Amino acid sequence: MLTPARCVSLLLVVADAAQAASQLWQPRITRYDHLADIGSNHTLMRRTIDELTDPSPIDARSIDKRYLIRTLDLMQPWPNHEVRYCFATPEDKQALFYNLKDAIDRWWWVGLDQSVYKWTEVDDNECQSHRSTLLLVKRGRDGAGHTTTTGYIPADSSTGSEGPVMILDDTDWGGYDNKIGTFAHEIGHAWGLFHEHQNPNFWRIEDGFVDANFGTVFGNDNFHCENLVGYDTALAAAQADLGPEGGKDICKSVATAGQYHFAADAFLPWTPSIVFAPPGHNFADVDWTSIMIYPSHTSSSNGLPVITAPGGAIIVQNHYPTPQDVTGINLVYTTPMQNLGPFLNQAGNSQFNSFQSLYKQSRGEKGC
């Protein structure tokens, strides 16, 4: 990921102020063997997969959520390459500890260097006294789903942030591999990684996607925005404000989608003021097996794919990080992060007022 030639997940250092919170729903999982053909020249490996799909319409009460917090501020690497965390309650630790350990082990297995990167639990006393600088791990309840602060963002009273947080749903709704894979995905966010599929370099600018950067991978033929949960509601609200044509921007602009709390904001290309991304624009530049890429049916309201590979091939659920994902973390922690301001939470930024308003409404949550 984020190699000189490939991008698995984006590290987005400064976010667009218009991107507020939205909920992203994930349908239940069915298991089957799948052979995905991509055009005439590319074939994905045949294997047994857990794919996010459901042939029947889904209502919100039966759908699982997964969140990613995108704090609209500077996303910093964790000091000394160490994620220091604690559990919110003893019950949360009992429910999550071993699954979280299995998930971080998947990162070690694929090559994240344990002598450099540390995943360290602290005791209850330190959890209380240093909460603002620790990752607080909580068990999701009542369908709360998965939530993770991206990277290290300490508490900030001006935005209401109390410090980094990770909320994990330990419901075994997709089988063990899917659950641990989802935890591993959230760990990727905790280290500072964003989504592979939102790399602007992969999106076709000629199809009208705001922030697209002359890509050839994703466009009108394989991003099916109308299949997303909440599409009709978001479209009606946007058209009431922006007119019939302007309302369609919920499927073209990540900022507009976020404004209307619509799940497309977790799919569309997203270019903040600063983006670390390699120059690749084509099929071969995508790591289709990344832990940080969405399966095709994520957030589908009707069992139809939301996003596919070129030619309509289904993107499957991945359960393990890839070496490119590890390379992405290495890049996050070795790239100098200076002279990047003024940031959105600083008065010198032209978007400061918008940022303050949107952040306080969303509490920093961003659907993912």
d(CA 58, CA 62): 7
Instruction: Give the percent of the chain with pLDDT over 70.
Output: 67
Q: Which of 185-189, 327-331, 338-342 shows the lowest mean pLDDT across its residues?
A: 338-342
3-state secondary structure of 246: helix
User: Under a CB-based contact definition with an 8 Å cutoff, are residues 289 and 309 in contact?
Assistant: no
User: Residue 272's closest CA among 8, 11, 9, 12?
Assistant: 12
Q: Is the pLDDT of residue 197 over 80?
A: yes
CA distances from 273 to 32, 69, 74, 131, 367 (A): 41, 18, 11, 30, 20
Tell me the average pLDDT across 270-281.
62
Q: What's the pTM? A: 0.73
For tokens 């977790």, the residue is 266
Angle at 237 between CA 234 and CA 238, to 5 degrees: 85
224 vs 342: which has the higher pLDDT: 224
pLDDT tens-digit map of 287-311: 999 999 999 999 999 999 999 999 9
Type and span of the H or E element at 242: helix 231-246
3-state secondary structure of 136: strand
Give the model's pLDDT for residue 88.
96
State the average pLDDT for the chain. 75
Give the model's pLDDT for residue 348.
56
Tell me the average pLDDT across 200-224.
95
Q: Is the pLDDT of residue 221 over 70?
A: yes
Q: Is the pLDDT of residue 342 over 50?
A: no
For the CA atoms of 70, 62, 101, 325, what is the dihedral angle to 10 degrees? -50
Please report the domains of the chain, with CATH numbers, ordered by start residue. 11-367 (3.40.390.10)
